[in-house]
Copies of this chain bind each other. A is one copy, B any other.
Amino acid sequence: MAVKEFAQQSLSEITNNHKDGASQLARRCLQLVAEYGQAIETTQPPTMEVFRAQLFIYIKKLQAARPSMVAIENLLQRLMVSLNNWPQDLAEAVDYVGEQVQVIIEESNHAVVESAVQMKALIQPGSVILTHSISSTIIEVFRQCLHFSVKAIITESRPGNEGVMLAKQLSDLEIPTQYITDAQMGLFIQQCDIALVGADTVLTDGSLVNKAGTYLLALAAADHHVPFYVCSESHKFSKKSLKDIGLEEKDSKELKPPQLTSVRARNIYFDVTPRSLITGYVTENGIDLVK
């Protein structure tokens, strides 16, 4: 595949991926950088300077592809900083990029597992956990709690229906799971012991950007005195404000709305949960209790 075509297709893949959580998508972006390096080498061997410039331009484009998911920007930033010891030879440089990518992917995977291990300390055996949307970190929490007899309540997560994929993964883990509409979160909060979500981005004021509906879950949890935890690798934390990142709006066709005069469908993918509604943040570095 030509380099330009690879860049276009891969950027489109990241922009339109509504099935994976931010952490998984960030690791996919790292992988794409390695593949992009290979594509340059294979199809149009340039000078080292041109190679690095092309690679960094591509990284910048990936960083801008999902503004509401700061882990993508942060992990790619981490990669750029780590690329500080370039070999002279182009083939070696391509391998070097691949190696650094693997190091950071492994670091990220390790952070996900470690975050889940930290989270496990807050979960009583037999607990019922209500989660919204899909998150590789939250699936890892369920994996860590396999011998804890925990149960899950999960949401459809319209319009992308990430809940279907999450249901499959929890079924593979044999976790007893109730699958509900997003609108039923206020009913089922009464059955659960912990509300638990991953993060797309944690803003500088400690508020959480996550799949739309997360804020409603946090409100219901607070109203029922159910703890509401956020579990994610620390790369989800940002020094940015909501104004800096904005909330992505996707194609409204995803809602399959009625086509009518004067009716406009809206599809904002993320909402913001204020820090005051969050019981605690749990990362690979430990537990940060807010209240």
Contact = CB atoms under 8 A, between A and B. Distances in A.
A179 interface: yes
A188 to B, nearest CB: 7
B167 A186 contact: no
Interface range on chain A (Cβ under 8 Å from partner): 35 or more
A175 B174 CA distance: 48
Given A157-B183, A168-B258, A179-B264, 19 more contacts: A155-B183, A158-B158, A158-B182, A159-B181, A170-B262, A170-B263, A171-B262, A177-B264, A179-B258, A179-B266, A180-B255, A180-B265, A181-B182, A183-B211, A186-B215, A186-B216, A187-B271, A188-B266, A219-B219
Q: How many copies does the complex hold?
A: 2
Give the interface SS of chain A, mostly helix, strand, loop or mixed. mixed
Nearest to A217: B216
A216 B158 contact: no
A257 interface: yes
A268 B190 CA distance: 13
5 contacts: A157-B183, A158-B158, A168-B260, A171-B260, A171-B261
Interface in A152-196: 155-159, 164, 167-168, 170-171, 174-188
A174 B168 CA distance: 43
A216 B271 CA distance: 14
Contact of A212 (B177, B183, B255, B268): B183
A267 interface: yes
Interface in A204-228: 211-213, 215-216, 219-220, 223
A264 B188 CA distance: 13
B182 A262 contact: no
A17 to B, nearest CB: 18
B179 A182 contact: no
A83 to B, nearest CB: 38
A213 B269 CA distance: 18
Contact of A216 (B159, B164, B220, B258): B220
Contacts of A179: 255, 257-258, 263-266
